[in-house]
Amino acid sequence: MTGRFYEITPEIMELANKCSASSIIPSELYTKYNVNRGLRDLNGKGVLVGLTHISDVCSTKLVNGEYIPSEGELYYRGYNVKDLVKGIAPDSHFGFEECAYLLMFGELPTKEQLKNFCGLLSEYRTLPTSFVRDIIMKAPSKDMMNTLARSVLTLYSYDDRANDISLPNVLRQCLQLISLFPLLSVYGYQAYRHYHDGASLYIHTPQPELSTAETILHILRPDSKYTPLEAKLLDIALILHMEHGGGNNSTFTTHLVSSSGTDTYSVIAASLGSLKGPKHGGANIKVVQMFEDMKRTVKDWTDEDEVGKYLTALLHKEAFDHAGLIYGMGHAVYSLSDPRAVIFRGFVEKLSQEKGYEKEFALYSLVERLAPEIIAKERKIYKGVSPNVDFFSGFVYHMLDLPLELYTPIFAIARIAGWSAHRLEELSQNGKIMRPAYRNIGERKEYVPIDKR
């Protein structure tokens, strides 16, 4: 294709301006018609559209008949995620598989059940013959989320029961996708690095005895080596990212598209498209990039005034990407704290000491303290602002020497467990197709024949 095919021509610009002018909706109309824009009220609370057993995101508590902000809590099937993480001893099993079992089947597995479940995932961790050569190696993309979505959609063609949405078959498909996401993501990255950057190509075969976290490190690194601490920290990251209520954008997408009765591969590809967005799963990349810009711009990382001025410049659209955001701060639900960030913080501090990133951790800690104060001064907010899980996750991945291109796919490798649980729950209800309403505010017009315009 010629360069003109991708060019933003004057004609396209003119049509885009027409599109923009015809799409503007005055903000006051949302209040007039009582429309909760973005399916959220002014306090950021989501509009209730469904019921779930799978997880619960808590940010308020009832005091004297009134809900007030509280420290955030996250529950998987009724279990506090803090307790789930604490229950995994440093020298014991890995927790991602245990929590995946919990999310999908509603109970914690016994040792024997967990062993069998891990064996099943290991058995499914095999791609179809020639899939790597024919699909992943051809036309590799610099965006691993697009590569992952394309691979998922292509797996449809290799499944003789792709359209069967009976619960046993969908469970089989979901377990296979949980098993294959590490391979699809990392192999896609290896192909891109080889064909675009000229790097050596490494396609390591997965080992049946390895956990999901270990598999990622094994097939990613040229020598397949990693420390127990690295694998454990990555496992914790997967646990903290695997589920976050039915209302987050990508999980709601899973429910929404599943309600249409379509196949598993189409549903998960749609969820991947949602997760890719910088306002959702792509946020941790923005956090890392923002801090890299901050480290270049701020001369003294310990100077509160200088760091504060940079944060203010971010809000004024005068720094970094000029979006007016301090990435990693604030959450749609949490106000006082994000429990995932709280859990992560302790591990981040330990890892920074072992990896020699104490100065960077001190800068993160300073921003963590200053940003909420600065945001409160500059913006009208309806609830508290605190660091979210993305504030620390990118820093952890950086210290683990994971490439930036895989940050969001690692989120997907974790979240596919939650998506699977929600898809199974949605299909179990055999409910109606989701069909929300939009109010039309356009005026009625008389048609004018083209020769009279």
Helix (H/G/I), strand (E/B), else coil: 17? helix
Cβ atoms 313, 319 nearer than 8 A = yes
For residue 172, how many other CB atoms are within 10 A of its CB? 17
Three-state SS for 73?
strand
Q: Does residue 79 sit in helix, strand or coil?
A: strand
Q: Beta strand pairing status for 55-63 and 66-76? A: antiparallel
Q: Which residues are catalytic?
A: 331, 390
Q: Decide: residue 290, CB within 10 A, 0-12 exposed, 13-18 middle, 19+ buried.
A: buried
Token pair for 268? 């998960």
Instruction: Look up residue 339 and give its two tokens.
Output: 């429990």
Query: How many angstroms separate the CA atoms of 351 and 349, rounded?
Result: 6
Structure tokens, 435: 């069909």
Task: Say if CB 179 and CB 131 are below 8 A apart.
Answer: no
Q: What share of the chain is helix, strand, coil (3-state, %, to 5)?
A: 55, 5, 40
Which residues fall within 8 angstroms of residue 408, CB to CB, at 6 or more apart?
144, 145, 275, 276, 281, 282, 284, 285
Q: Which helix (H) or strand (E) holds 64?
A: none
Helices first, then strands: H and E counts in the chain: 18, 3
Measured CA to CA, the distance from residue 330 to residue 310 in angstroms comes to: 18
Distance CA 305, CA 288 (A): 21
Alpha-carbon gap, residue 181 to 136, rounded angstroms: 13
> What are φ and ψ of residue 446, in 5° steps?
-85, 135
Nearest partner of 435 among 293, 262, 259, 315, judged by Cα: 259
The CA-based diameter of the chain, rounded to the nearest angstrom, is 80
Cβ atoms of 12 and 352 closer than 8 Å: no
Cα-flanking dihedrals φ and ψ of residue 46, to 5°? -70, 145
